[in-house]
Structure 1
Amino acid sequence: MDIRAGLPAGLTPPVKVALARAVDKMPRGDASHGTWLIEPKWDGYRCVAVRDERGATLWSRQGKELTGYFPELCSAVAAAVPPGCVIDGEAVIWSEGRLNFSSLQQRLGAGPKTLPELAAAAPANYVAFDVLAVAGHDARDLPLSQRRALLEELANGWEPPLSLSPTTTDRSVAEQWFEDLPHTGIEGLVIKHLNQPYTPGVRSWLKLKHRETVEVICGAVIGPITQPSEVVAGLVLDGELRIVGRSTPLKAREGRELARWLHPPVNEHPWPTSVKGTTLDRFNRDKEPVALTLVKPVVVEVSADTAWSGRSFRHPLRLLRVRPELSPSDVSVPDRLHVG
């Protein structure tokens, strides 16, 4: 144990978190018998709250300290959580009845002068879903069923901005959540075994993300026009065709089918022939420029999860088919994406 901080060995921050791997459907098995614990997948910042003898700190999944960006959450954790506790959860911001990821991003880009104003205008909330340490004792080797019981006891009496993530062992309830909650910004479900220990760095959980079919404009591709490897997607925002994301890598057959409909641009194209990696994917750490093969805009249908920043899709799109019968002027930002 870290005597100075009152934390178990290995849990002084930054703390390594458990991860989830994507699945395409709800796993079969014993959900009705309670071996699965299912909870909403929150659209926020994964956030470990560490409460030691000196106070509370917040840490991202990547190990970045978030304490200064969410002062209201730190104060709440320090007041409501006893020393020696480490909690896993999500920092979220609600706006007009749904989660607002853009407001979270604004926090991380704010300076000390603007941060108090942002916090007052759009206060954050912390949704806890696991506990790694309680009263200075490491809880990671305990099964999830016991950790959840400890977390519920710890959260007894919590008030906003602290809350406990809802869970269910009933498959029908989880399926109803999956259908009903996307309009609130909930991305899908996280599915865990009740007998699992907490496994840092291991994808031992499952995540089922809600995906929707949307139409976007293919304004460029990565790779040659005759065998594209990825679609560069665009939508008209503020009167201009802007890059809003990229597709997952195309299979050879998909690339050949798309290539049938691709032609070099006829007029001046609004996009450059090279962009930063973060233009296509804001979480791309590769700073090297990415070469674009510009094409005459063509409409494509893609499968997208519900994570939309207000300016772009936050995760890769899956190409479904080309829609040559549609004109790019027919494509607009879907109403469900008008957030943030």
Structure 2
Amino acid sequence: MQLPVTPPVAPMLAKAVPTIPPEASYEPKWDGFRTIVFRDGDEVELGSRNGKPMTRYFPEIVDAVRAELPQRCVVDGEVVVAAGGVLDFEALQLRLHPARSRVELLAGRTPASFVAFDLLALGDQDLTGRPFVERRAALVEALAGAGTSVHLCPATRDRDKAQQWFTTFEGAGLDGVIAKPLDGMYEQDRRVMFKIKHTRTADCVLTGFRWHKASTPEAPLVGSLLLGLHDGDRLQHVGVVGSFTARRRAELVEELEPLRPREGDRHPWSDWVEAQAREGHRPTGAVSRWNTGKDLSFVPLRPERVLEVRYEHMEGHRFRHLAHFVRWREDRTPESCTYEQLEQPVAYALGDIVPGLGSAR
């Protein structure tokens, strides 16, 4: 490729802030794979956030780039999969499959789209040193012919409108708002943008723990705590809490010891516990989203203790990201920890945010 900006590129990042800052350009925050698109004629490469190419996983995006983007350009954006009018991250993750036949099958079954939100190069021009307002204007012009599989990310300078987006767009699967300084240059791998994400709390049942990767028999350390919520008569696995200091990890070993099952106790997830020894069998909720070979075995605990956690949003029956420990809730009973406590975003269609996104192709 003979481009003024060449792969790999480390995308510009955002730091979390509690409120939407003034005097910025605001965009919805997408829940997909951050991707830098490089096009030089028929040559197309899709670069991931860590610099590794993702081109082979999304052949339909490669075709769309050739059809809808300028002949020579570098564009920053997000690869997403839409289903039923909302973003579907689980379906997107399944697209990262090693078998070519499976990749081609999924490209037709769950096609991805590309949402563009920054322009790094156009023709022979390197735009990374230009203010964002200039890059945005060039991006709008460059994407004038797009709209089938490549979409322009909405943007506004109206802070009140951004606040409205923050409240309503979550119903379509988006997870917040990004604020970009108007005069900001494109700075690779630096947190110079701002992200405002939803934060909520929930009371969950402690159901078990996993050992930390640095744990040894001589110096045991708890890695993460497993969380459950009652869905009728079923205790559903909803995620984990894992951000603890080394000292706290050591303390938890002794603190959780009294909750170990006694002889004759049967854990609500006994089938999962028994399946740990059977290679290739992982019950629902036991699959790693990023590494199917990862050891997800756990130490069961009697589901008698409740903890409050902070989370961003749900994806299906689970927390979308790692939850964060807030406090123990000795005043709550495990039976009271149900899905009914969770805030439900108002439904919102992706097509009302970006026309054509999520429609049948």
TM-score range, shorter chain: 0.7 to 0.9
Alpha-carbon offset, residue 87 of structure 1: 0.1
Deviation larger for 70-79 or 232-241? 232-241
2:248 paired with 1:248: no
Query: What stretches of structure 2 of length at least 5 have no aligned partner?
Result: 216-220, 278-285, 346-361
Distance 1:25 1:335, change over 3 A: closer
2:331 paired with 1:318: no
Q: 1:302 is matched with which residue: 284, 296, 309? A: 309
Distance 1:182 1:97, change over 3 A: same
Match of 2:357 in 1: none
- Two-structure CA RMSD over aligned residues (Å): 3.8
Instruction: Report Cα offsets for 1:119-155 as digits up to 9, x if no partner.
Output: 2222211100001101121110101011001101101
Alpha-carbon offset, residue 332 of structure 1: 4.3
Report the Cα distance in structure 2 between the residues aligned to 1:265 and 1:124, rounded to whole angstroms.
Answer: 45
Contact 2:206 2:225 (8 Å CA) reproduced:
yes
Query: What stretches of structure 1 of length at least 5 have no aligned partner?
Result: none
Letter in 2 for 1:15: V
2:160 paired with 1:172: yes
Alpha-carbon offset, residue 307 of structure 1: 5.7
Match of 1:57 in 2: 45
Contact 2:40 2:73 (8 Å CA) reproduced:
yes
Report the Cα distance in structure 1 between the residues aligned to 2:291 and 2:240, rounded to whole angstroms.
Answer: 11
Contact 1:58 1:67 (8 Å CA) reproduced:
yes
Report the Cα distance in structure 2 between the residues aligned to 1:178 and 1:166, rounded to whole angstroms.
Answer: 13
Distance 1:291 1:104, change over 3 A: closer
Q: Secondary structure at the match of 1:109?
A: coil
Report the Cα distance in structure 2 between the residues aligned to 1:265 and 1:139, rounded to whole angstroms.
Answer: 61
Instruction: Report Cα offsets for 1:42-89 as digits up to 9, x if no partner.
Output: 000101111013422211111221112111111111122223210000
Report the Cα distance in structure 2 between the residues aligned to 1:249 and 1:53, rounded to whole angstroms.
Answer: 49
Distance 1:195 1:262, change over 3 A: farther
* % identity of equivalent residues: 33
Alpha-carbon offset, residue 281 of structure 1: 7.0
Contact 2:121 2:127 (8 Å CA) reproduced:
yes
Q: 2:97 is matched with which residue: 109, 114, 122? A: 109
Q: Normalised by the size of structure 1, how large is the TM-score? A: 0.79
Match of 2:2 in 1: 6
Q: How many residues align?
A: 319
Match of 2:190 in 1: 202
2:194 paired with 1:188: no
Instruction: Report Cα offsets for 1:137-193 as digits up to 9, x if no partner.
Output: 111010101100110110112122111111111111111111111111101011110
Q: Normalised by the size of structure 2, how large is the TM-score? A: 0.75
Report the Cα distance in structure 2 between the residues aligned to 1:246 and 1:40, rounded to whole angstroms.
Answer: 27
2:82 paired with 1:94: yes
Letter in 1 for 2:10: K
Letter in 1 for 2:20: M
Report the Cα distance in structure 1 between the residues aligned to 2:13 and 2:293, rounded to whole angstroms.
Answer: 22
